[in-house]
Structure 1
Amino acid sequence: MNKEQLGIQYMQEGKWEEAAKFFMDEIEKNPQNAVSYVNFGNVLSALGDQERALTFYQKAIEIDDSTAAAYYSAGNVYFELEKFELARQMFEEALSKGLDNSDNFFMLGMTYIAIEKSKLAIPYFQRAVELNNKDAEGFFQLGLCLAQNEYIDEAIVQLKHCIAIDTEHADAYYNLGVAFGFKEDKEKAMEMFNKALEVQPDHMLAGYGKQIMEGE
Protein backbone atom coordinates (compact mmCIF):
# COMPACT_ATOMS: atom_id res chain seq x y z
CA MET A 1 0.00 0.00 0.00
CA ASN A 2 1.50 3.33 -1.06
CA LYS A 3 1.08 6.58 0.84
CA GLU A 4 -1.88 7.83 -1.18
CA GLN A 5 -3.69 4.52 -0.64
CA LEU A 6 -3.06 4.76 3.11
CA GLY A 7 -4.65 8.21 3.23
CA ILE A 8 -7.63 7.00 1.18
CA GLN A 9 -8.03 4.06 3.57
CA TYR A 10 -8.30 6.53 6.46
CA MET A 11 -11.08 8.28 4.54
CA GLN A 12 -12.92 5.03 3.85
CA GLU A 13 -12.76 4.21 7.55
CA GLY A 14 -14.15 7.63 8.45
CA LYS A 15 -10.92 8.67 10.15
CA TRP A 16 -11.15 12.21 8.81
CA GLU A 17 -8.61 13.86 11.11
CA GLU A 18 -6.00 11.21 10.33
CA ALA A 19 -6.73 11.49 6.61
CA ALA A 20 -6.56 15.30 6.67
CA LYS A 21 -3.25 15.30 8.56
CA PHE A 22 -1.85 12.67 6.21
CA PHE A 23 -2.73 14.54 3.03
CA MET A 24 -1.58 17.89 4.46
CA ASP A 25 1.78 16.30 5.32
CA GLU A 26 1.97 15.01 1.76
CA ILE A 27 1.25 18.50 0.39
CA GLU A 28 3.98 20.01 2.58
CA LYS A 29 6.49 17.36 1.50
CA ASN A 30 5.59 17.57 -2.19
CA PRO A 31 3.66 20.76 -2.97
CA GLN A 32 3.60 19.92 -6.69
CA ASN A 33 1.65 16.67 -6.24
CA ALA A 34 -1.81 17.55 -7.58
CA VAL A 35 -3.37 14.31 -6.34
CA SER A 36 -2.73 15.19 -2.69
CA TYR A 37 -4.66 18.44 -3.15
CA VAL A 38 -7.58 16.50 -4.63
CA ASN A 39 -7.54 14.04 -1.74
CA PHE A 40 -7.38 16.79 0.86
CA GLY A 41 -10.26 18.54 -0.92
CA ASN A 42 -12.25 15.30 -0.75
CA VAL A 43 -11.74 15.19 3.03
CA LEU A 44 -12.97 18.78 3.34
CA SER A 45 -15.96 18.02 1.12
CA ALA A 46 -16.87 14.98 3.20
CA LEU A 47 -16.76 17.19 6.29
CA GLY A 48 -19.11 19.71 4.64
CA ASP A 49 -16.54 22.43 3.94
CA GLN A 50 -17.38 22.72 0.26
CA GLU A 51 -15.95 26.17 -0.45
CA ARG A 52 -12.52 25.26 0.93
CA ALA A 53 -12.65 21.94 -0.90
CA LEU A 54 -13.07 23.84 -4.16
CA THR A 55 -9.91 25.86 -3.52
CA PHE A 56 -7.91 22.64 -3.23
CA TYR A 57 -9.39 21.21 -6.43
CA GLN A 58 -8.58 24.48 -8.19
CA LYS A 59 -5.02 24.31 -6.86
CA ALA A 60 -4.67 20.76 -8.19
CA ILE A 61 -5.80 21.97 -11.61
CA GLU A 62 -3.30 24.86 -11.50
CA ILE A 63 -0.49 22.40 -10.79
CA ASP A 64 -1.60 19.86 -13.41
CA ASP A 65 -4.57 20.69 -15.59
CA SER A 66 -4.82 17.06 -16.73
CA THR A 67 -5.86 15.89 -13.24
CA ALA A 68 -9.26 14.48 -14.19
CA ALA A 69 -10.18 13.65 -10.57
CA ALA A 70 -9.96 17.33 -9.63
CA TYR A 71 -12.59 18.28 -12.21
CA TYR A 72 -14.82 15.38 -11.16
CA SER A 73 -14.58 16.26 -7.46
CA ALA A 74 -15.23 19.93 -8.19
CA GLY A 75 -18.25 18.87 -10.24
CA ASN A 76 -19.66 16.98 -7.27
CA VAL A 77 -19.25 20.05 -5.03
CA TYR A 78 -20.91 22.35 -7.58
CA PHE A 79 -23.74 19.82 -7.94
CA GLU A 80 -24.26 19.75 -4.17
CA LEU A 81 -24.26 23.56 -4.16
CA GLU A 82 -26.91 23.43 -6.94
CA LYS A 83 -24.60 25.20 -9.40
CA PHE A 84 -25.60 22.73 -12.05
CA GLU A 85 -24.12 24.40 -15.12
CA LEU A 86 -20.72 24.66 -13.43
CA ALA A 87 -21.07 21.04 -12.35
CA ARG A 88 -21.80 19.97 -15.92
CA GLN A 89 -18.74 21.85 -17.19
CA MET A 90 -16.52 20.12 -14.61
CA PHE A 91 -17.81 16.64 -15.42
CA GLU A 92 -17.38 17.33 -19.16
CA GLU A 93 -13.83 18.50 -18.48
CA ALA A 94 -13.12 15.37 -16.43
CA LEU A 95 -14.34 13.29 -19.37
CA SER A 96 -12.11 15.20 -21.79
CA LYS A 97 -9.14 14.50 -19.47
CA GLY A 98 -9.81 10.75 -19.62
CA LEU A 99 -12.18 10.03 -16.73
CA ASP A 100 -14.22 7.50 -18.70
CA ASN A 101 -15.95 5.82 -15.76
CA SER A 102 -19.55 5.11 -14.80
CA ASP A 103 -19.64 7.65 -11.95
CA ASN A 104 -18.70 10.54 -14.21
CA PHE A 105 -21.27 9.56 -16.85
CA PHE A 106 -23.91 9.12 -14.14
CA MET A 107 -23.25 12.58 -12.71
CA LEU A 108 -23.36 14.11 -16.18
CA GLY A 109 -26.78 12.56 -16.58
CA MET A 110 -27.85 13.96 -13.21
CA THR A 111 -26.80 17.48 -14.19
CA TYR A 112 -28.98 17.33 -17.30
CA ILE A 113 -31.92 16.20 -15.17
CA ALA A 114 -31.23 19.09 -12.79
CA ILE A 115 -31.37 21.62 -15.63
CA GLU A 116 -34.56 19.95 -16.93
CA LYS A 117 -33.06 18.48 -20.09
CA SER A 118 -33.76 14.83 -19.34
CA LYS A 119 -33.59 13.72 -22.96
CA LEU A 120 -29.95 14.82 -23.10
CA ALA A 121 -29.27 12.74 -19.98
CA ILE A 122 -30.26 9.46 -21.64
CA PRO A 123 -26.98 8.65 -23.46
CA TYR A 124 -24.95 9.43 -20.32
CA PHE A 125 -26.99 7.03 -18.19
CA GLN A 126 -26.80 4.45 -20.97
CA ARG A 127 -23.02 4.68 -20.90
CA ALA A 128 -22.95 4.62 -17.09
CA VAL A 129 -24.80 1.29 -16.94
CA GLU A 130 -22.74 -0.14 -19.79
CA LEU A 131 -19.65 0.50 -17.68
CA ASN A 132 -21.28 -0.69 -14.44
CA ASN A 133 -24.10 -3.18 -14.95
CA LYS A 134 -24.62 -3.48 -11.17
CA ASP A 135 -25.65 0.16 -10.77
CA ALA A 136 -29.31 0.00 -9.75
CA GLU A 137 -29.60 3.78 -9.49
CA GLY A 138 -28.13 4.19 -12.96
CA PHE A 139 -30.77 1.88 -14.43
CA PHE A 140 -33.47 3.69 -12.42
CA GLN A 141 -32.47 7.14 -13.65
CA LEU A 142 -32.19 5.84 -17.22
CA GLY A 143 -35.66 4.32 -16.97
CA LEU A 144 -37.05 7.54 -15.52
CA CYS A 145 -35.59 9.64 -18.34
CA LEU A 146 -36.90 7.26 -20.98
CA ALA A 147 -40.38 7.34 -19.44
CA GLN A 148 -40.37 11.14 -19.22
CA ASN A 149 -39.60 11.25 -22.92
CA GLU A 150 -42.37 8.72 -23.72
CA TYR A 151 -40.11 5.75 -24.48
CA ILE A 152 -42.33 3.59 -22.28
CA ASP A 153 -41.32 0.09 -23.43
CA GLU A 154 -37.63 0.98 -23.16
CA ALA A 155 -38.24 2.49 -19.72
CA ILE A 156 -39.85 -0.72 -18.48
CA VAL A 157 -36.79 -2.73 -19.55
CA GLN A 158 -34.42 -0.45 -17.62
CA LEU A 159 -36.61 -0.25 -14.50
CA LYS A 160 -36.77 -4.05 -14.46
CA HIS A 161 -32.97 -4.11 -14.54
CA CYS A 162 -33.05 -1.79 -11.52
CA ILE A 163 -35.30 -4.01 -9.38
CA ALA A 164 -33.37 -7.12 -10.43
CA ILE A 165 -30.32 -5.54 -8.78
CA ASP A 166 -32.12 -3.79 -5.91
CA THR A 167 -35.27 -5.65 -4.91
CA GLU A 168 -36.09 -2.92 -2.34
CA HIS A 169 -36.19 0.02 -4.77
CA ALA A 170 -39.70 1.32 -4.05
CA ASP A 171 -39.50 4.20 -6.53
CA ALA A 172 -38.61 1.80 -9.35
CA TYR A 173 -41.66 -0.34 -8.57
CA TYR A 174 -43.84 2.78 -8.46
CA ASN A 175 -42.57 4.00 -11.84
CA LEU A 176 -43.07 0.55 -13.31
CA GLY A 177 -46.65 0.78 -12.07
CA VAL A 178 -47.07 4.11 -13.83
CA ALA A 179 -45.55 2.70 -17.03
CA PHE A 180 -47.82 -0.35 -17.02
CA GLY A 181 -50.77 1.95 -16.28
CA PHE A 182 -49.82 4.00 -19.30
CA LYS A 183 -49.88 0.80 -21.35
CA GLU A 184 -53.31 -0.01 -19.85
CA ASP A 185 -52.02 -3.18 -18.19
CA LYS A 186 -53.99 -2.73 -14.97
CA GLU A 187 -52.96 -6.08 -13.46
CA LYS A 188 -49.23 -5.40 -13.81
CA ALA A 189 -49.68 -1.80 -12.65
CA MET A 190 -51.43 -2.95 -9.47
CA GLU A 191 -48.75 -5.57 -8.89
CA MET A 192 -46.04 -2.91 -9.07
CA PHE A 193 -47.88 -0.39 -6.86
CA ASN A 194 -48.46 -3.13 -4.28
CA LYS A 195 -44.78 -4.08 -4.41
CA ALA A 196 -43.76 -0.46 -3.88
CA LEU A 197 -46.06 -0.27 -0.83
CA GLU A 198 -44.74 -3.57 0.47
CA VAL A 199 -41.22 -2.18 0.40
CA GLN A 200 -42.24 1.30 1.60
CA PRO A 201 -45.71 1.37 3.21
CA ASP A 202 -45.77 5.18 3.33
CA HIS A 203 -45.06 5.59 -0.39
CA MET A 204 -47.78 8.17 -1.06
CA LEU A 205 -47.54 8.14 -4.84
CA ALA A 206 -47.81 4.36 -5.00
CA GLY A 207 -50.83 4.51 -2.69
CA TYR A 208 -52.42 7.13 -4.91
CA GLY A 209 -51.66 5.11 -8.05
CA LYS A 210 -53.26 2.06 -6.49
CA GLN A 211 -56.40 4.04 -5.57
CA ILE A 212 -56.71 5.24 -9.17
CA MET A 213 -56.38 1.68 -10.48
CA GLU A 214 -58.95 0.39 -7.97
CA GLY A 215 -61.36 3.20 -8.94
CA GLU A 216 -61.33 2.31 -12.63
Structure 2
Amino acid sequence: MEISLLVLLFIPYLIIKYYLTDHETKAEKDLKRFEEGVSLVKNGNYEEAFAFFDQMVKANPKSAVAYALRGKCNLHDENYYSALYDFSQALSFDNTLADCYLDKGKAHMAVLEFKEAFREFDKAVWFFRNVNPDALRLRGMARLRMHQFVQSERDFQRAMELGDEDARVILSQAPFNHTFVVK
Protein backbone atom coordinates (compact mmCIF):
# COMPACT_ATOMS: atom_id res chain seq x y z
CA MET A 1 0.00 0.00 0.00
CA GLU A 2 2.76 2.43 0.95
CA ILE A 3 4.79 1.55 -2.14
CA SER A 4 1.87 2.12 -4.51
CA LEU A 5 1.17 5.49 -2.88
CA LEU A 6 4.83 6.41 -3.25
CA VAL A 7 4.75 5.39 -6.95
CA LEU A 8 1.58 7.41 -7.52
CA LEU A 9 3.24 10.50 -6.05
CA PHE A 10 6.51 9.93 -7.91
CA ILE A 11 4.94 9.78 -11.41
CA PRO A 12 3.48 13.33 -11.29
CA TYR A 13 6.82 14.55 -9.94
CA LEU A 14 8.62 13.07 -12.97
CA ILE A 15 6.12 14.56 -15.40
CA ILE A 16 6.38 18.03 -13.86
CA LYS A 17 10.17 17.82 -13.73
CA TYR A 18 10.28 16.85 -17.42
CA TYR A 19 8.22 19.86 -18.49
CA LEU A 20 10.14 22.30 -16.32
CA THR A 21 13.58 21.09 -17.38
CA ASP A 22 15.41 22.91 -20.15
CA HIS A 23 16.08 20.53 -23.05
CA GLU A 24 18.41 22.70 -25.13
CA THR A 25 21.99 21.57 -25.48
CA LYS A 26 24.85 23.87 -24.53
CA ALA A 27 25.65 24.28 -28.23
CA GLU A 28 22.07 25.37 -29.00
CA LYS A 29 22.19 27.87 -26.14
CA ASP A 30 25.55 29.21 -27.34
CA LEU A 31 24.27 29.62 -30.89
CA LYS A 32 21.46 31.80 -29.53
CA ARG A 33 23.87 33.73 -27.30
CA PHE A 34 26.30 34.33 -30.15
CA GLU A 35 23.61 35.20 -32.71
CA GLU A 36 25.39 38.44 -33.64
CA GLY A 37 28.60 36.59 -34.54
CA VAL A 38 26.73 33.79 -36.31
CA SER A 39 25.04 36.33 -38.58
CA LEU A 40 28.44 37.90 -39.32
CA VAL A 41 29.73 34.50 -40.48
CA LYS A 42 26.59 33.85 -42.55
CA ASN A 43 26.97 37.26 -44.22
CA GLY A 44 30.64 36.66 -45.01
CA ASN A 45 32.03 39.30 -42.63
CA TYR A 46 34.81 37.03 -41.45
CA GLU A 47 37.11 39.72 -40.12
CA GLU A 48 34.42 41.11 -37.80
CA ALA A 49 33.25 37.59 -36.96
CA PHE A 50 36.78 36.59 -36.01
CA ALA A 51 37.07 39.56 -33.64
CA PHE A 52 33.68 38.70 -32.14
CA PHE A 53 34.48 35.02 -31.59
CA ASP A 54 38.00 35.77 -30.39
CA GLN A 55 36.37 37.79 -27.59
CA MET A 56 33.82 35.04 -26.98
CA VAL A 57 36.57 32.43 -26.65
CA LYS A 58 38.28 34.61 -24.06
CA ALA A 59 35.02 35.21 -22.19
CA ASN A 60 33.78 31.61 -22.56
CA PRO A 61 36.89 29.41 -22.70
CA LYS A 62 34.85 26.19 -22.66
CA SER A 63 32.42 27.10 -25.43
CA ALA A 64 32.66 24.62 -28.28
CA VAL A 65 30.58 26.90 -30.51
CA ALA A 66 32.86 29.91 -29.98
CA TYR A 67 35.93 27.85 -30.88
CA ALA A 68 34.20 26.23 -33.87
CA LEU A 69 33.10 29.54 -35.34
CA ARG A 70 36.45 31.21 -34.70
CA GLY A 71 37.95 28.19 -36.48
CA LYS A 72 35.59 28.73 -39.40
CA CYS A 73 36.90 32.32 -39.66
CA ASN A 74 40.50 31.08 -39.53
CA LEU A 75 39.69 28.50 -42.21
CA HIS A 76 38.25 31.20 -44.46
CA ASP A 77 41.35 33.36 -43.92
CA GLU A 78 43.57 30.35 -44.75
CA ASN A 79 45.06 30.22 -41.25
CA TYR A 80 44.84 26.45 -41.39
CA TYR A 81 46.86 25.53 -38.32
CA SER A 82 45.00 28.06 -36.18
CA ALA A 83 41.76 26.65 -37.56
CA LEU A 84 42.86 23.11 -36.69
CA TYR A 85 43.62 24.22 -33.14
CA ASP A 86 40.21 25.88 -32.80
CA PHE A 87 38.36 22.87 -34.22
CA SER A 88 40.28 20.51 -31.92
CA GLN A 89 39.38 22.65 -28.92
CA ALA A 90 35.74 22.81 -29.99
CA LEU A 91 35.51 19.06 -30.41
CA SER A 92 37.19 18.48 -27.05
CA PHE A 93 34.26 20.32 -25.43
CA ASP A 94 31.49 18.92 -27.66
CA ASN A 95 32.26 15.99 -29.95
CA THR A 96 28.84 16.06 -31.65
CA LEU A 97 29.38 19.14 -33.85
CA ALA A 98 29.10 17.67 -37.34
CA ASP A 99 29.95 20.94 -39.10
CA CYS A 100 33.10 21.19 -37.02
CA TYR A 101 34.29 17.79 -38.27
CA LEU A 102 33.58 18.93 -41.82
CA ASP A 103 35.54 22.16 -41.39
CA LYS A 104 38.39 20.38 -39.61
CA GLY A 105 38.62 17.96 -42.53
CA LYS A 106 38.80 20.89 -44.95
CA ALA A 107 41.71 22.35 -42.98
CA HIS A 108 43.52 19.01 -43.05
CA MET A 109 42.95 18.78 -46.83
CA ALA A 110 44.39 22.28 -47.26
CA VAL A 111 47.62 21.25 -45.54
CA LEU A 112 47.71 17.98 -47.51
CA GLU A 113 46.98 15.71 -44.54
CA PHE A 114 44.65 13.37 -46.39
CA LYS A 115 44.39 10.54 -43.84
CA GLU A 116 43.48 13.01 -41.10
CA ALA A 117 41.04 14.73 -43.46
CA PHE A 118 39.42 11.40 -44.27
CA ARG A 119 39.01 10.64 -40.57
CA GLU A 120 37.27 13.99 -39.95
CA PHE A 121 35.04 13.68 -43.02
CA ASP A 122 34.13 10.15 -41.99
CA LYS A 123 32.98 11.45 -38.60
CA ALA A 124 31.03 14.23 -40.33
CA VAL A 125 29.29 11.67 -42.57
CA TRP A 126 28.37 9.67 -39.49
CA PHE A 127 27.03 12.66 -37.54
CA PHE A 128 25.10 13.86 -40.60
CA ARG A 129 23.59 10.34 -40.83
CA ASN A 130 24.93 9.76 -44.34
CA VAL A 131 22.65 12.39 -45.90
CA ASN A 132 24.96 15.39 -46.28
CA PRO A 133 26.28 15.48 -49.87
CA ASP A 134 29.17 17.83 -48.99
CA ALA A 135 30.48 15.48 -46.32
CA LEU A 136 30.22 12.51 -48.68
CA ARG A 137 31.90 14.34 -51.57
CA LEU A 138 34.72 15.60 -49.37
CA ARG A 139 35.27 12.16 -47.88
CA GLY A 140 35.40 10.88 -51.45
CA MET A 141 38.01 13.51 -52.31
CA ALA A 142 40.16 12.45 -49.36
CA ARG A 143 39.83 8.82 -50.41
CA LEU A 144 40.70 9.75 -53.97
CA ARG A 145 43.91 11.42 -52.71
CA MET A 146 44.74 8.19 -50.85
CA HIS A 147 44.12 6.13 -54.02
CA GLN A 148 41.04 4.37 -52.60
CA PHE A 149 39.22 4.57 -55.92
CA VAL A 150 36.37 2.10 -55.34
CA GLN A 151 35.36 3.60 -51.98
CA SER A 152 35.81 7.10 -53.36
CA GLU A 153 33.52 6.33 -56.28
CA ARG A 154 30.85 5.06 -53.85
CA ASP A 155 31.01 8.29 -51.87
CA PHE A 156 30.69 10.38 -55.02
CA GLN A 157 27.75 8.29 -56.22
CA ARG A 158 25.95 8.68 -52.90
CA ALA A 159 26.60 12.45 -52.94
CA MET A 160 25.30 12.58 -56.49
CA GLU A 161 22.13 10.72 -55.44
CA LEU A 162 21.64 13.47 -52.86
CA GLY A 163 21.86 16.11 -55.60
CA ASP A 164 25.52 17.14 -55.48
CA GLU A 165 26.51 18.36 -58.94
CA ASP A 166 30.20 18.63 -58.05
CA ALA A 167 30.23 14.89 -57.35
CA ARG A 168 28.65 14.30 -60.77
CA VAL A 169 31.48 16.23 -62.45
CA ILE A 170 34.16 14.36 -60.49
CA LEU A 171 32.58 11.02 -61.37
CA SER A 172 32.64 11.91 -65.07
CA GLN A 173 36.42 12.22 -64.94
CA ALA A 174 39.14 9.59 -64.70
CA PRO A 175 39.72 7.29 -62.87
CA PHE A 176 35.93 6.91 -62.70
CA ASN A 177 35.17 7.25 -66.39
CA HIS A 178 34.74 3.60 -67.36
CA THR A 179 34.76 4.18 -71.11
CA PHE A 180 38.30 2.86 -71.45
CA VAL A 181 38.96 -0.83 -71.99
CA VAL A 182 41.38 -2.74 -69.79
CA LYS A 183 43.23 -5.61 -71.54
Query: Is TM > 0.5 for Structure 1 vs Structure 2?
Result: yes
Q: 1:155 to 1:47 in 2, by over 3 A?
A: closer
Matching of residues 64-75 of structure 1 within 5 Å: 64-75=60-71
CA contact (8 A) 1:37 1:56 kept: no
Shift of 1:89: 1.0
The structure with the greater share of residues assigned to helix is 1
RMSD over aligned Cα atoms: 2.4
Structure 2 segments unaligned to the other structure (5+ residues): 1-23
Q: Can you list the C-alpha shifts for 1:27-46, whole angstroms capped at 9, x where unaligned?
A: xxxxxx97666322223333
CA distance in 1 between counterparts of 2:47 and 2:169 reads 37
Distance in 2 between the 1:49 and 1:186 partners?
45
Mapped to 2, the partners of 1:180 and 1:109 lie a distance apart of 23
2:144 is equivalent to residue 147 of structure 1: yes
Q: For residue 118 of structure 1, what is the aligned residue in structure 2? A: 114
Q: Give the CA deviation at 1:176.
A: 2.1
For the residue of structure 2 that corresponds to 1:59, the secondary structure is helix
Are 1:34 and 1:61, in contact at CA under 8 Å, matched by a contact in 2?
Answer: no
Determine whether 1:156 maps to 2:149: no
Aligned position for 2:131: 134
How many residues get paired? Answer: 152
Normalization by structure 2: what TM-score? 0.73
Question: In structure 2, what residue type is equivalent to 1:93?
Answer: Q
The percentage of counterpart residues that share the same residue type is 20
More relative contact order, 1 or 2 (CA 8 Å, 6+ apart): 2
Deviations 1:36-65 (A, max 9, x none): 663222233334433332222122222221
Counterpart selection for 2:56 from 60, 84, 95 = 60
Change (3 A) 1:69 1:179: same
Q: Secondary structure at the match of 1:69?
A: helix
Structure 1: state its 5+ residue gaps. 6-32, 190-216
Counterpart Cα distance in 2 of 1:144 and 1:34? 32
